[in-house]
Amino acid sequence: MSWLDNAQVKTVADKAAEKAAQDLATEQAWVKAELAQADKELFILEDGDPRSKADIPAWRTYRKALRDHTTGVRPVRPV
């Protein structure tokens, strides 16, 4: 019995599928982190902290865009 008996060769399609899965996981992690940051920014605004960035409607619109984001151009964070 050789080690080649159980060897699997990855095709171009297999490699593309793996890359797509990795890209999706990266985007999902980014969206999750951005949603957490948007929540923090909203808490800062609600507390009346002078360090707040943008305004409440801008951050809420950003959160909606993040939830709708799948692929392509990422939503732009309010500043």
Q: Which residue has the higher pLDDT, 5 or 15?
A: 15
Is 54 part of any domain? yes
Is 12 part of any domain? no
pLDDT digits (tens, 9 = 90+) for 38-67: 999 999 999 999 888 899 999 999 999 999
Is 5 part of any domain? no
Record the pTM: 0.78
Is 70 part of any domain? yes
Task: Report the first-to-last Cα separation within the chain, whole angstroms.
Answer: 63
Non-local (6+) Cβ contacts of 75 within 8 A are 34, 62, 65, 66, 69
Is 25 part of any domain? no
For the chain, what is the domain count?
1
Give residue 68's domain range. Answer: 33-79
Is 43 part of any domain? yes
Is 20 part of any domain? no
Is 18 part of any domain? no
- Classified as helix, coil or strand, 44 is helix
